[in-house]
A and B are shown apart, each in its own frame.
Chain A
Amino acid sequence: MNRLQQLFNRKAGNILNIYVTAGYPGLHDTESVVLSLAEAGVDIIELGIPYSDPLADGETIQASSQQALANGMGLSLLFKQVARIRLKSQIPIVLMGYFNQMLQYGIPAFIQHCETSGVDGLIIPDLPIEIYQRDYAHLFGASTLSLSFLITPQTPEARIRKMDEASNGFIYMVSVNATTGTETKVSTEYFERIKGMGLKNPRLIGFGIKDSAGYNQACSYADGAIIGSAFIKFIASEGIGKVKDFVGGIRGLE
């Protein structure tokens, strides 16, 4: 059982997953940002693999990816950084990245280096469930990594069930059908509907959550929340020294 699955066995509800782009703001800041987040009580780290053409991401994450790439960030360095983090922390780490990067690295090598460096799970937003099942499930399925799929308010029920079946991480509930960081009113009908489906995987709600109100709302309908753009904006303006304040602001006096 990987660290992510251990977490879900141990803790139900109020799970906070924070996204940060690897190699941002500085090339070697990944480790200290992750360790500060872990110390501040965050439950899961989602590390973004910076990409030149991140289709599903809004301006904030695009800009952080571009900066990380300009800093010289790449997959080989990312695996080294994760391995160093593992000397100090056992916080579950999920990599979020676009499929082409994994394809170029070589899927078997990518999986192997995820496992040996200490990655627990993957989110691949542009690998749809049908193509995954047809061509790649045998590779990822044989690994220790948990794969998580994204669903949106428009995803049909049968498709959600297919993803739930194929996944052994969490269901990533995209709160609104929009790119990351977009502020739009969420539909609690959608949250209720998914909650009522009795899925086998825990559910985390993400996209557009930026404060404790959003976090609390997500936790009232699902097992937790994912915060990305808001955290990137915070470190862009406040630097990486005040990470604890950000987490404190989200969690309040939980």
Chain B
Amino acid sequence: MQGSVKYTYPADGFYGPFGGAFIPELLQPCVEELRSQYLSIMAEPSFLHQFEALLKDYVGRPTPLYYAHRLSKHYQSHIYLKREDLCHTGAHKVNNTIGQILVAQRLGKQRIIAETGAGQHGVATATVCALMGLECIVYMGEKDIVRQAPNVQRMKMLGAEVRPASSGSKTLKDATNEAIRDWINNPSDTHYIIGSVVGPHPYPDMVSRFQSVISQEILWQLKEKTGNENPTRIIACVGGGSNAAGAYFHYLERESVELISVEAGGMGVHSGKTAATSQIGTQGVIHGSMTLLMQTKDGQIVEPHSISAGLDYPGIGPMHAHLIQSKRAKVVAIEDDHAVKAAFLMAKLEGIIPALESSHALAALDELELKPNDINVINLSGRGDKDLNTFMNHTRHE
């Protein structure tokens, strides 16, 4: 049906060998309801109209594609920043939550659940629930509730209930398990807004489509600025992979455009304290999807480590597993210290404080062979206000 498209859409729910819906029968009614309707809902004129209007007037799209003069000079190569940090709530996450809340309304759901790690997706979900007047419950690992207190306060102020996930390792993967269990127990009135291109089909596809607005804008913005829609490469950080999926989407089949996926190296890829999923992970099933994940040889899921809570996930979206395994995307791992340094460089050269997640993408510039005429587009997925404490503590220790 999708012709010769190799990477953009899943076939039967699978991106190559990855994806699918490995879910208990208990979850089938929820997932099947969504799967059978998401494409037709997303094609409705009234949906498209409302989605576009909200992205424009509420989120503040299109976000600028900014030519970073001093950073370009520093690296002796052309660098454009896609300013997702200027989205309402401070990150790209809201593109997806706006889309999903409109789907949830059309499915007649009154109750919204979500998982969150750093709290960014939780805040973006609480925001759209407030906007639409829907009940909102956000599952968050007990440990993360302590680590990310300001975002917990934001969610509460927006009217959401933050429920601690106290099972397992008490972090993002467990918050995701709890949200899935909640959905099993409340199939009829609840929609689960997943925060990245992870989970069972159709989530990876649906979330990619909502985030694809990022590359849709890059196409014309770059043409306007350079006369050419295609950059040399696009660089994005990958936790679950939603900002990368959005920045890549319309370029996936244009194989001359390099895609650079930046993972969190943590304290070092082989240090045992890392979130470099594609490098130390192996094929398996996590949260209903066949993908690459960090696990023991017995198949128990391993807790990742990254200085950035948004990259601290033991899996990776199935689309990215496919892009990496088929060598369409190249992977770079950036360690904690390096990401922090990149954030300071950006702050001083451009007057922009990037999110820790996005700082990983910036740091990748040091790892690539950049030529003077190259056009590099970096997806600046979020702003760094939420990370100020980490930045300050980190420099104090240096």
Contact = CB atoms under 8 A, between A and B. Distances in A.
Contacts of B25: 125, 128, 149-152, 155, 174
A62 B300 CA distance: 14
Given A62-B167, A103-B284, A104-B295, A53 B24 contact: no
Contacts of B327: none
A235 interface: no
Nearest to B298: A74
B209 to A, nearest CB: 23
Contact of A126 (B29, B187, B285, B300): B285
Interface in B282-319: 282-288, 295, 297-301
Interface string A29-55: 000000000000000000000011101
B379 to A, nearest CB: 30
B181 A53 contact: no
B391 interface: no
B168 A53 contact: yes
A89 interface: no
A178 B184 contact: yes
B298 A101 contact: yes
Interface in A86-112: 98-105
B interface majority secondary structure: mixed
B156 to A, nearest CB: 25
A113 to B, nearest CB: 13
B135 to A, nearest CB: 20
Contacts of A103: 283-285, 299
Given A103-B299, A128-B25, A53 B20 contact: no
A126 B168 CA distance: 19
29 contacts: A55-B24, A55-B27, A55-B181, A55-B184, A55-B288, A56-B24, A59-B167, A66-B167, A66-B168, A98-B299, A100-B284, A100-B285, A100-B295, A102-B299, A104-B299, A105-B299, A126-B22, A126-B288, A127-B22, A128-B23, A128-B25, A149-B25, A150-B24, A154-B187, A155-B28, A174-B26, A177-B184, A177-B187, A179-B181
B16 to A, nearest CB: 13
A131 to B, nearest CB: 6
Nearest to A69: B300
Counting contact residues on chain B (CB < 8 A from A), the size range is 20 to 34
A59 B168 CA distance: 11
Contacts of B21: 128, 131
Contacts of A102: 299
Interface string A152-173: 1011000000000000000000
Counting contact residues on chain A (CB < 8 A from B), the size range is 35 or more
B185 interface: yes
A61 to B, nearest CB: 11
Given A52-B300, A62-B167, A128-B22, A104 B284 contact: yes
Nearest to B303: A52
A234 to B, nearest CB: 21
Given A52-B300, A56-B184, A104-B284, 20 more contacts: A53-B168, A53-B174, A53-B177, A55-B177, A55-B180, A58-B181, A59-B167, A66-B168, A98-B285, A98-B299, A103-B283, A103-B285, A103-B299, A105-B299, A125-B24, A126-B285, A127-B22, A131-B20, A151-B25, A152-B25
Top 5 A-B residue pairs of the complex, sorted by shortest distance between their CB atoms: A104-B299, A56-B24, A101-B299, A52-B300, A154-B29
B173 interface: yes
Contacts of B282: 104
Nearest to B166: A59
Interface in B148-178: 167-168, 173-174, 177
A150 B29 CA distance: 13
A150 B26 contact: yes
B369 to A, nearest CB: 37
Given A126-B22, A127-B22, A179 B185 contact: yes
Contacts of B167: 59, 62, 66
A99 B167 CA distance: 20
Contact of B22 (A99, A104, A155): A99
Contacts of A105: 298-299
A75 B298 contact: yes
A178 B188 CA distance: 12
Contacts of A131: 20-22
A75 B300 CA distance: 11
Interface in B2-33: 20-29
B26 A179 contact: yes
Nearest to A54: B177
B168 A52 contact: yes
B183 to A, nearest CB: 10
A177 B29 contact: yes
A251 B306 CA distance: 53
Contacts of B283: 103
